[in-house]
């Protein structure tokens, strides 16, 4: 313990950086526990699609969607997410999985759905990139 204190006194900037990073990691992990939606990997998404008929919404732009999307997914831009809209209103109690390029855009949309009362919202962790990395198939064209 004395060596740790000696190091901290000799390297104050490194010590402050270490404490700051540790707090940031703890905050991020705690926030993740209470965000209201969960991240799923490609295998978990496959199970949700096959066993529970999950509604998969692809939030990427139309050209990216047409180049390749998860089979059965629906295209919807983040600005078009309306919890009471025709597509989403009947899925309020069912699994809804949001997919984007890397998982960032989908997280913001997931928060919107959770605030609107959706109970089973998920985000594909790593986005469509993780789906492709898992070697899973993509459909091309419009759906």
HSE (side-chain half, CA atoms, 13 Å) at 9: 6
- Nearest in space to 140 (alpha carbons), one of 84, 50, 68: 68
pTM assigned to the model: 0.77
Token match 């890397």: residue? 102
- For residue 121, the cross-strand partners are 96
CATH topology of domain 36-133: Oxidized Rhodanese; domain 1 (3.40.250)
- Which tens digits make up the pLDDT trace of 10-62? 999 998 999 999 998 888 777 666 678 999 999 999 999 999 999 999 999 99
């Amino acid at each position: 313990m004395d060596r740790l204190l000696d190091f901290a006194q000799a390297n104050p900037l490194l010590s402050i950086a270490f404490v700051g990073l540790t707090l940031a990691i703890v905050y991020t992990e705690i926030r993740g526990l209470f965000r209201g939606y969960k991240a799923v990997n490609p295998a978990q998404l496959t199970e949700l699609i096959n066993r529970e008929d999950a509604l998969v919404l692809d939030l990427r732009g139309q050209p990216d969607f047409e180049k390749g999307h998860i089979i059965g997914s629906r295209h919807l831009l983040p600005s078009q997410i309306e919890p009471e809209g025709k597509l989403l209103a009947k899925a309020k109690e069912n699994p809804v999985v949001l997919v984007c390029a890397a998982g960032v855009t989908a997280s913001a949309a997931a928060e919107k759905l959770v605030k609107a009362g959706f109970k089973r919202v998920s985000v594909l962790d790593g986005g469509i990139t993780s789906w492709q990395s898992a070697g899973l198939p993509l459909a091309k064209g419009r759906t």
